[in-house]
Amino acid sequence: MKKNNAKAAAGVKEIARLAQVSIATVDRVIHNREGVSEKTKTKIQAIIDKLGYQPNVLAQRLALATRGTINLAVLLPVISPETEFWQAPRDGITKAESEIKQYGVNIHYFYFDQNDESTFEKQVKKIIRFKPQGILFTPTFPDPAVQLTEHSKKAGIPYVLINTDIPGYDAMCYIGPESFHSGYLAAQLVHYCTARDKKIVIAKIAREISTNYAILRKEEGFRAYFKDRKLENPLLTLDSKDTEYAGVSRKLAKLIKQEQNIGAIFVTNSRVSLVARYLEAAGRTDIILLGYDFTTDNVQHLKADNIDFLICEKPQEQGYRGIMTLFQHLVYSNVIEKNYLMPIDIITRENYLFYRN
């Protein structure tokens, strides 16, 4: 590929010169627009192909500044101490925003309460009324989420799902983990680190477990590993709709008292720090503990050796990439990939320092 040794790559001007037409006409051919005679079109296309013309993205973008504003809607859970996880996607979105703001992209944020489906519904309605040119959201509640995707489809509005997809629904674009595999990986780690006569606890700590698809899929993946490998560790379950420490620790205490020989606890979401806190207090350093997400509390406990593994799927990048996907689609008509599955990262006490979301 050394042939581009020549000065700069040819641009529209050069093409126009060679084809003996104006650059406007070249532009029309490049963008496949109406109103060019077959003859000149063919001539220009031939030159484009021969030159291997690549548009200068910079110039394209700069010229774009003439065009109007692009409005994007983002629908995410409110960020509270309890939902710190969502800070990361939000950061990624903000990062993308700052990069493309200068090309006239505006992002409008809509927030819902993870524990209240009606707030999600309300925001969906608001977004529909707002008529954005693109939507990024996480379908925490499948029914209203489908409403939004269906509406968007009809209205021709591109959308991107992050973090979770909608069960049994074929969305336009999903950017996030493959949750089943994520659980499967967790099981592998437990398997490697636990003797085979030990009991293993699957801890589900969330107010709305039954509707949380990601949590369910992780559990399925986790169980599937043990089944596929014909492992005989008893798999226990701990369910807690109470997400406060007091409630969780009570349940844990009871379970641990009643079951001997627990080797590992797998927490299916970011609430793993609650379990860590309990195990630390109870002095149970013998139990392998793993869970999800690079939150402050979790990292603290990882550092203190109370958590052994954190699994993390680059939440920040999900937000960043989601916005960029919409932007590139709207501005350059880039095709939107159906799925972009994130890496499933394993974080331990010995590599967390170098991790980047």
Q: Which does 341 bind (CB under 5 to 8 A by kind): DNA, a second copy, none?
A: a second copy
How big is the CA angle at 279 (ends 273 and 283), to the nearest 5 degrees?
145
Whole-number Å distance between alpha carbons of 208 and 273: 19
CB atoms within 10 A of CB 333: 9
DSSP per residue, 91-127 = HHHHHHHHHHGGGTEEEEEEEE-TT-HHHHHHHHHHH
Interface of this chain with DNA, residues 36 to 55, rule: CB under 7 A: 36-41, 53, 55
Q: x-or-dash pattern for a second copy, window 71-110, by CB under 8 A?
A: ------------------------------xxxx------
For residue 43, CA distances in Å to 27, 173, 217, 247 come to 13, 37, 55, 74
Residues found in the chain? 357
Q: Which one of 2-10, 80-88, 136-144, 271-279 is the stretch in contact with a second copy (CB under 8 A)?
A: 2-10
Task: Reduce the DSSP state of residue 327 to 3 states and report it.
Answer: helix
Of 35 and 81, which has the nearer Cβ to DNA?
A: 35
Q: Which one of 152-160, 198-206, 331-339, 344-352 is the stretch in contact with a second copy (CB under 8 A)?
A: 344-352
* Among residues 173, 252, 302, 342, the one that binds a second copy under rule CB under 8 A: 342
Whole-number Å distance between alpha carbons of 212 and 166: 10
* Among residues 11, 142, 234, 247, the one that binds DNA under rule CB under 7 A: 11
Q: x-or-dash pattern for a second copy, window 269-298, by CB under 8 A?
A: -------------------x----------
Burial class (CB in 10 A: 0-12, 13-18, 19+), 351: exposed
Task: Reduce the DSSP state of residue 278 to 3 states and report it.
Answer: helix
Q: Is the dihedral of CA 6, 8, 11, 13 positive or negative?
A: negative
CB of 264 to a second copy, least distance (A): 11
Q: Any contact of residue 304 with a second copy (CB under 8 A)? A: no
CB of 5 to a second copy, least distance (A): 8
Q: Which does 225 bind (CB under 5 to 8 A by kind): a second copy, DNA, none?
A: a second copy
CB of 3 to DNA, least distance (A): 18
CB of 48 to DNA, least distance (A): 10
* Among residues 165, 178, 219, 297, the one that binds a second copy under rule CB under 8 A: 178
CB atoms within 10 A of CB 346: 16
Of 65 and 335, which has the nearer Cβ to DNA?
A: 65
DSSP per residue, 214-243 = HHHHHHHHHHHHHHHTT----EEEEEES--
Whole-number Å distance between alpha carbons of 122 and 111: 10
Cβ neighbors of 249 (< 8 A, separation 6 or more) are 274, 277, 278, 281
Q: Any contact of residue 54 with a second copy (CB under 8 A)? A: yes
Rounded-to-10 torsion of CA 204, 308, 275, 317: -60
Interface of this chain with DNA, residues 67 to 96, rule: CB under 7 A: 67
Q: Any contact of residue 184 with a second copy (CB under 8 A)? A: yes
Would you tell me which residues interact with DNA (CB under 7 A)?
A: 8, 11-13, 20-25, 27-28, 30-31, 34-41, 53, 55-56, 59-60, 62-67
Would you tell me which residues interact with a second copy (CB under 8 A)?
A: 4, 8-9, 54, 56-59, 61-62, 65, 101-104, 177-178, 181, 184-185, 188-189, 192-193, 225, 288, 308, 341-346, 348-351, 353-356
